[in-house]
Amino acid sequence: MTIRNVRDHGQRFRPRMACLKKVEAVMLEMQDPKTGVKSQPQKLVITTIPHAITGEDVVTWLANRYTIEAEEAWALGTMLVAFGYIYPLQDHKRLVIKPDTALYRFQTPYFWPAQQWPVEDTDYAIYLAKRNIRKKGVLEMHEQEQYSSLHKWMNHKWDFIVMQAKEQYRAGKERKKPDRAVFDCQERAYWVVHRPPPGTVSAMDYGLERMVDPNAEEVTGQCMIFTQQSIMRPRVKSSVSIGALVKYSVTCNKHDPFLAPCLPSNPWVTDDVTYWLLNMANVDIPTKMRVERWTFSFGELLSDPRGRDDFRLFLKKEFSGENLAFWEACEDLKWGTAATMNEKAQQVYKTFLARGAPRWINIDGKTMEVTVKGLKHPHRYVLDAAQTHIFMLMKKDSYGRYLKSPVFKDTQKRAIGPDQHRFSVSQLEANARKRRPSISPIIVRQQEKEERARMATSGPVDITQVMSKLSNKGKEVPPPKK
């Protein structure tokens, strides 16, 4: 089977689909009869499947063609299977490439994602009805649920759907047995990609449709003109920018899961959640690599909830915890809901900015004037000036002393460094079977809200109010003696 060219059906308008043209070029090379992946007929159960290939041959061809490691070729092959360009002949529900003798086959270009055929429920209902006829009512659990749901929803035209399914089933029986088996596998692979079973991730999910063709000549010309004008007016020397980029890349190289292995293992590859458990937001003992990232920059420290907790402990010992509390309150106002904006702004003013506030912060008069004036008509960014002032104050003063403090050194000493865990193929399959959905984001947000409420209730006592009550109590006139 040799394919020389592919028609363009407008897939360029779809976001996240720009890679499909490159994928199709790879598929054309892989199916070349001379230099492509070697295929041969394979007997599957009682049927001979033509042009079958093995996962080992696919991974080896990709590694040799693009001079990449076996793991990268494995990941690329898995992407080809996930997009539906290659489909498995045996374990059809697992859209991954196995680097062994597992059998695969190239999908026909008619079912390629770039064709952009609308995936309609009517077509899926006809497919399920046809499988129901062929299997005599024995469908998989999720297919049976979908079949019942579509039957209930499309009851007004179900007779038409069943008639189409019977017609297609009758036409399929007139084909030769190998051709019929191949077409059934191709159609099943198409629907596994576009209607995946529950608990699996679909590679075909994408955002809104683009109304403008990003590959049009006008858009490309405008981008080129803008780029040329930007290059002619550089604000920073190229040597400085490149030097900073190289320094950042060298510093963060081993912390990038695409460039260095995750410890103990990459959960997206091995389905083992140990990496996520060790790097939870508020884990008691962080990992060494996580603590090392706190030393990169002050922003890196504040972006990590566990790092903020450690920094908060240091500021508490220095009696300057109000600075971090104010910064967090500004972030909560900036990214919170619009309904609570006014209430949060007034609470921040009473707690940190008002005269005699319980957690008064030290900012210059000009910044205070701008902030107080803006609080008359609060919005999300009304505290930006004061937040930037406090951020720079902590960065220049507290951050350096924190890195030299016993608090950070103790955390650095207690940090753990997990060893790399290598899984066998059987262990990977067992991990995939034990895969469970992660915690709902709604529950995570609720936990964060409860944590913020707990921290707010455990805040410092307003000393001015306490002293005022004590002084008023001392001035009370005792009752006369009888």
Give the chain's mean pLDDT: 83
Confidence of residue 212 (pLDDT cuts 50, 70, 90): low
What is the C-alpha separation between 155 and 58, in angstroms, rounded? 44
9 pLDDT above the threshold of 50: no
Is the pLDDT reported for residue 464 higher than 50? Answer: no
**Tens-digit pLDDT profile for residues 265-304:** 888 878 888 888 888 888 899 999 999 999 999 999 999 9
User: pTM of the full predicted structure?
Assistant: 0.48
pLDDT in tens, 313-364: 999 998 888 999 999 999 999 998 888 899 999 999 999 988 888 999 988 8
Q: Tell me the C-alpha distance between 133 and 173, whole Å.
A: 12
Count each helix (H run) and each strand (E run) in the chain, helices first: 23, 4
264 preceded by a cis bond (ω within 30 of 0): yes
What would you report as the CA-atom Rg of the chain, rounded to the nearest whole angstrom? 31
CA distance 434 to 14: 34
Domains and CATH numbers, the chain: 11-115 (1.10.10.10), 121-194 (1.10.1240.60), 286-415 (1.10.167.10)
Residue 121 pLDDT: 87
Residues 6+ apart with CB under 8 A from 13: 209, 210, 211, 212, 213, 214
Name the residue with tokens 């406090």: 390
pLDDT at 459: 53
- Residue partners of 354: CB distance under 8 A and separation at least 6: 360
Dihedral sign computed on CA atoms, order 295, 301, 305, 311: positive
CA dihedral of 230, 232, 238, 241, whole degrees rounded to 10? -20
Helix (H) or strand (E) holding 417: none
